[in-house]
Every structure is written in C-alpha cells, then in structure tokens.
Structure 1
Amino acid sequence: MKRFLGHISLASLVFLFVLLVACGHDKSSTPKEDVLPEYENMQELNAQKCGMSRFNQKAYVKNKGKVYECDGSKWVESYIQTRPDSCRSCEFGEYIDVRDGKTYKTVVIGRQVWMAENLNYETENSYCYNDSLEYCDKYGRLYTWAPRYSLCPPGLHVPDTTEWLTLFSAIGESPLWWMTYAGTKLKSQKGWKDDGGGSDAYGFSALPAGSRYEDGSYHGLGEYSTFWTSREYQNIWAWVMGFKYNEDYTSCLSFAEKTTGRSVRCVQ
C-alpha cells in the first residue's frame, strides 16, 4: 500500500478523497447496480455484442429475472444476483387488519393493491405449517377454501383468476397463464430450495409456504406455494395460483381440493 501511495501526488489524493465523500459515502446516491441496463429477453441482450470493450459490464434480463455480465466473449449469468433494490419503483404501504390488529405490507402493481405478505388471520379452518406458530409468523397461515369475502380483512378480498391474470399483464407478462414468466418476477429472492427464488422485481415476495393435505400432513415448505382464488371448480375443487422452486420461468394456474390448506393473498 505504501509503495502504491508513493506514486500518487497530493493533488490526486485530495481529488480521490472528494470523490469518495461525494459519491461513495452518500447514502442517498444511487448504487451502480441500480441503474443496470434492462432488456426484455436474451435475444435483445445478445444483440448487444459482448466483447472486451464490454468486459465485466452487467445487464438485467426481465423475462429471466436475472443479472448477466459480459465475460469478454459472451453474456453469462452473473455470480452476484442480488440487486441493491429489487423493486426500484414499487409503491409500498400498510394495511391494519381491524380484526386482530396485525399490520400487513401492501404494494401497488399496475392498478391493483396487493398484500405483499401472506394472510395470517386465525380462523377455525386455518393452520400453521407443522402446527408450529413460528411458521405462521413467516409464511402466514394455510387455509381451507372459503368464499371471496370471508377470509380477507374488510376492504380486501380473495382474488379471482382474472385478477391474477391482470397482475401478470401489469408486470409485462402474457395474460395467458400457460405462457407466462410471471413466477420469476413475483417470487421472493430468498427462502426457496436450491436458490430457486425469483427477482421479486415488483415487491410481491411470494414465499414457499407449502401446503396442508386433508389428512393433516404438511408438504412442500421451501419448494412451492399455492394461493387460493375465489373461483370454484365443480363442487369439491377451487382454482389456485402456484409457484415452484424448480420452475423459475413459469407460474401455474390449476385447481386443488377445497379441504386442503393453501396460502392466501388479499387484493383491494
């Protein structure tokens, strides 16, 4: 270090000090990674030819939900995936459930206001994973199916399938559920098996809460999450929206037996 400093003039040291004070230690300044160029898909990124002139430059690919960097010849997934602010333009708020006083984080996505965490209001037919309260604190409760306005706090409701598809459209994904890459953008960054989380680019933060079977057994913590919709399917099933750790680029709209325990996200 002394040898290095010996070749730097006093004026240069003063300049470096001013630069550090002005940029490096200003908490209000925007981190470099927060202004990454963004591309819709890999085709758009690959159109930006990766050569030595772009060595170590990074870019964010939306439909992958990942950061890529140029290794001097091609674009590869960056070793560091966590962005300083995974939701740069999100509008967060709070909602107090008057029934028990719990406060929930909310987020505006498009024209919808969603809970940004799972419902954790105790009802007769709700459960904590493995019957342990610590899981309810983190993942919310697992509920058997109930009609649209019977679970959520006043002013909110269980979304129907069309409201989920509206959410997909708002984040730039196809409203056709079998073609969407919404899972990558809506999953939380951490907590998923084998680092199978998403970018959480819109602050939705879907967590892998697992589910409860009719026989009282629990499955899937860390691997998947399924959210009830208000739409019934025949008499014993209802539609659910699901996310899986090993399906980074998809979300799944299917149905489940009403007597099983699933997570609930409320929407305004």
Structure 2
Amino acid sequence: SANEGAQRYNSVGKVMEYCNSTDWKAFGIAVAFLCGTDTVTDGDGKSYDTVLIGTQCWMATNLEYPSSGGCRDVAWVNNNDVGWCGYYNGIDYGDEGLLYEWSAAMNGAAACNGVGESQPSCSTPVQGLCPAGWHIPSHYEFTALEREVCDTGAQCLTDFPYDESTAYYVQGTDEGDQLKRAIDCYGCEGSGGSSNFNALLTGMTSYGTGNSDNRGTYTRLWSSSVRSSDGYKWNRYLSSNFAGIYPAANPGHYGWSVRCIKD
C-alpha cells in the first residue's frame, strides 16, 4: 500500500492509527468524546458544536450536509418524497442548516423501530446523512429528550409517553421554549432556550410548490421512526406560537430540519 507506515488521527474513535500493508490499525489510548466540549465533523469537513442533555449527546446546530451532490442535486417534485434537500429558498442562513425531505435525511434507509417503551432505542440506529457514530433520532429518543427538559414531575410521563398516543396535540408546558431558539429578524438570531439545544425556527419547504415559508415562526425536526397505523414520519414541531412541544406524524414530502444524536 502507498500509505504503509503512515499515521493518522481517527476523529470518530479519537485514537491514532497506523497503516500496515493492508489496513489502518489503532494504537495508543483512545480519548473519550467529551460532549458539550468536543465537536463532530461531517463528511465535508464542517464541524458542529455538541450539547449534553441528560444522557443524550446532540448536535447543537442543524445538519448542513452535503455541501454539494447527493440530495442537493435532486430536483423538487410536487407532492412526492424523492430525496430532496436544500436551503430555505436557496439562501444559506448559516447554522440554520439545510431542509430535507425525510428520505433524503434517512439517505434512503428504512425507518427504525424506535417507537414504544419496550424499544428504548432502535435495534440498528439509522445513520442517514449524519456523521459516522451519529444517527437520526428515533421517536423514543425525542421523547426521552422531552422528559429530560420537563419539570412537572409525574405529569411529564403523561405529557410525553413513549407510545403513539400524542400526535397532533401540544404537549407539556414550557419544554418547547427550553429547546428552541428564536430568529428575531430576517437573518438575525435571538436568545436561546435553557437547554442549549438551540432549535432555530427555520421554517419549511412546502410539498406543493417547493417554496419555503414560515422562517422565524416554527421548525420541525425529523425522526427516523414512522407511525404504525399509516407509515407517516414522526417529527417534532416547535413554534413561536406555543411554549410546549407538538409531536406529529406526517408524509415525508416536506422539507424540514435534521438534528443528529450520538450513537
């Protein structure tokens, strides 16, 4: 191999590697990933801050991958989830990231089984377009996040169940306010919620026209899970119009945001 004897740093495993005649081998002592301090890098070299909420390590900003190719080259098709991704009306607003149809976020993978209290995580988490070692959060993982920021005791278990009973209702009290971050003006960022999750109100791309709207009003974050009754894709809806969280299940042909979680 032309690389034989070479050394490199593996940022996923956080360990040095050397190349023998056939493969890269780890050596030295792996350094534990310190969530909230360390960053994660996508396939294009873009770095993302991280935030620890309870036991979960999340990206602290929305996914913005790929920078070109892949879903960026897919043309919008009216009322059809064909794997499109792109900026809000073609404009790059920095940490707001890209908007994705569900199949694009999943990178063509099937839904995972992260719904239901008996399945605390997907048997195989779906990496989708997330960096190696990270994945698209399941319905269960979003519910765990909601329970972590909920401060109403036993009511948290009722407001945020692990089953499929709460779609299309605003749940909780101020959990949405703790997770979201306002956009005070077109292109400006406001103050963030107490969790430092900083879900920017990025709006959506409409399945009907391919145009984007509602920037600064709300955001929706895709999950990797689908509702058992109709195959609709679970997501979380945060809005400037309410303080709680709106769990929802919808067709995959909307352009919404993606936030990755560590394996």
Distance in 2 of aligned mates of 1:262 and 1:139: 11
1:131 shift after superposition? 1.4
SS of the residue 2:38 aligns to: strand
Distance in 2 of aligned mates of 1:180 and 1:255: 21
Equivalence map 1:151-166=2 (5 Å): 151-166=129-144
Equivalence map 1:107-256=2 (5 Å): 107-122=51-66, 123-124=70-71, 125-132=84-91, 134-135=92-93, 137-145=94-102, 146=106, 147=109, 148-173=126-151, 174-175=156-157, 176-177=159-160, 178-188=171-181, 190-192=182-184, 199-214=192-207, 215-233=209-227, 237-247=232-242, 249-256=243-250
Judging by fraction of residues, say which structure has more helix: 1
Q: What runs of 5+ residues in structure 1 fail to find an aligned partner?
A: 1-89
Is the Cα–Cα contact under 8 Å of residues 144 and 260 in structure 1 kept in the other structure? yes
1:265 corresponds to: 259
Distance in 2 of aligned mates of 1:237 and 1:192: 32
Structure 1 counterpart of 2:195, which letter? Y
1:65 corresponds to: none
Is the Cα–Cα contact under 8 Å of residues 232 and 238 in structure 1 kept in the other structure? yes
1:47 corresponds to: none
1:257 shift after superposition? 1.7
SS of the residue 2:137 aligns to: coil
Distance 1:218 1:168, change over 3 A: same
Distance in 1 of aligned mates of 2:173 and 2:224: 21
> Quick one: percent identity of the two aligned structures?
31
1:95 corresponds to: 40
Distance in 2 of aligned mates of 1:181 and 1:162: 20
1:191 shift after superposition? 1.0
Distance in 2 of aligned mates of 1:111 and 1:266: 15
Is the Cα–Cα contact under 8 Å of residues 40 and 131 in structure 2 kept in the other structure? no
Distance in 1 of aligned mates of 2:95 and 2:36: 22
Distance in 1 of aligned mates of 2:128 and 2:36: 27
Q: If you compute each CA radius of gyration, which structure gives the higher value, 1 or 2? A: 1
Q: Provide the aligned C-alpha RMSD in A.
A: 2.5
1:179 shift after superposition? 2.8
Distance in 2 of aligned mates of 1:107 and 1:96: 14
Is the Cα–Cα contact under 8 Å of residues 184 and 198 in structure 1 kept in the other structure? no
Distance in 1 of aligned mates of 2:38 and 2:213: 32
Distance in 2 of aligned mates of 1:160 and 1:172: 19
1:3 corresponds to: none
Is the Cα–Cα contact under 8 Å of residues 226 and 234 in structure 2 kept in the other structure? yes
Distance in 1 of aligned mates of 2:141 and 2:131: 18
Distance in 2 of aligned mates of 1:208 and 1:102: 21
Structure 2 counterpart of 1:179, which letter? G
Is the Cα–Cα contact under 8 Å of residues 137 and 261 in structure 2 kept in the other structure? yes
TM-score relative to the length of structure 2: 0.60
Distance 1:105 1:243, change over 3 A: same
1:199 shift after superposition? 5.0
1:38 corresponds to: none
